[in-house]
Amino acid sequence: MSVGVLQPPVVAGRLSGLHRLRALGVLDWFAFAVVAFLLVAVVAPGLLASSDPLAPDSHLILAKPSWSHPLGTDYLGRDEFSRVVHGTVRTLVGSAIAVIIGLGVGTLLGLVAAYFTGFVDTVISRVVDVLLSIPGLLLAMVIVLALGFGAFTAATAVGIASIAVFTRLMRSEVLTVKGLPFVEASHHLGGSTWYVLRKHVFPNSYGAVLSLTALQFGLAILWVSALSFLGYGAPPPKPEWGLLISEGRDYMVSSPWLVFGPGIFITVSVLAFSRIGHFVRETMS
């Protein structure tokens, strides 16, 4: 047989990496820029917005957007841009907690279900089916009502609501990988179940899960904001994106920038993260 088919040309890994960087589109660069901006807003919000997000100014109540106040001011005269930037940390940390819970628990459950099959798989898969049949946000609301209000519990609730998605994906990836010859080969070389799971099955199946993580992070931002919009999350006066929209809602007609400002932040962030998720998937495959 023409063996050329079986032997793909030797390609140096570094070269293909460079190739990928060059293949980055304008949108990818924009997405990375947005995420970089958000990271700065989390770590050092003072660099981006110099005014105090909590200091009211009675002379500037509900001021229109201007150079000194890019997103205007709210009903107490606080700088809206500064509040949005300072609120980033709550929203993003909340989303991060949610994703870590979903990713961690979901990955573990998926791994266990797929690897041990049989009864364990049946139980986990049915629970996942039940979780998937309930809309995520609704499930998160139920959980937050059970756990009590607060920024952390809202994040936890969103995390629990997203476990099922991760479990399902991880399970299907592991099912694919564990049938491959090199997994059997490692068993044959003397590897224990746990060793093979940890060293071969897991590293070769988490690529897809990682790209889902970026997508799910965007969704978590949306859900965490939605929960605090509804008043289940962080209490005022500390700023948080969903909460800011909720506060701005009362002045929607007279001062729409109080809704649009944080709204645009949420939209752009979610889109940026989903773009990165796409990029991660391309890179991993």
- Return the ∠ at Cα 248 (arms to 246 and 254), rounded to 5°: 145
Q: Which is nearer to another protein, 26 or 189 (CB)?
A: 189
Considering the complex, state which of residue 22 and residue 59 has its C-beta at the smaller distance from another protein. Answer: 22
Q: How far is the CB of 99 from another protein (least distance, A)?
A: 24
CB of 103 to another protein, least distance (A): 20
Quick check: 75 and 251 in contact, CB under 8 A?
A: yes
Q: Min. distance of Cβ 185 from another protein in angstroms?
A: 5
Backbone angles phi, psi at 258, to 5 degrees: -70, -25
Rounded-to-integer distance, Cα 83 and Cα 6, Å: 59
Question: Shortest distance, CB of residue 12 to another protein, whole angstroms?
Answer: 7
Binding interface with another protein (CB under 8 A): 1-4, 6-8, 10-13, 180-182, 184-193, 195, 199-200, 203-204
Least distance between another protein and beta carbon 4 (Å): 4
Buried b (16+ CB within 10 A) or exposed e, 106-131: bbebbbbbbbeeeeebeebbeebeeb
* Residue 7 CB coordination number (10 Å): 7
Q: Which is nearer to another protein, 3 or 146 (CB)?
A: 3
- Comparing CB distances to another protein, the nearer of 178 and 275 is 178
Of 54 and 180, which has the nearer Cβ to another protein?
180
Give CA–CA dist 216/201, Å, rounded: 23
Give the phi and the psi of residue 73 in degrees, each rounded to 5.
Answer: -130, 160
> What is the Cα–Cα distance from 18 to 210, expressed in whole angstroms?
21
Q: Which is nearer to another protein, 27 or 182 (CB)?
A: 182
Which token pair is 193? 């179940």
**Smallest distance, another protein to C-beta of residue 186, A:** 7
Q: Which amino acid is at 131?
A: L
Would you call 180 helix, strand, or coil by DSSP?
coil
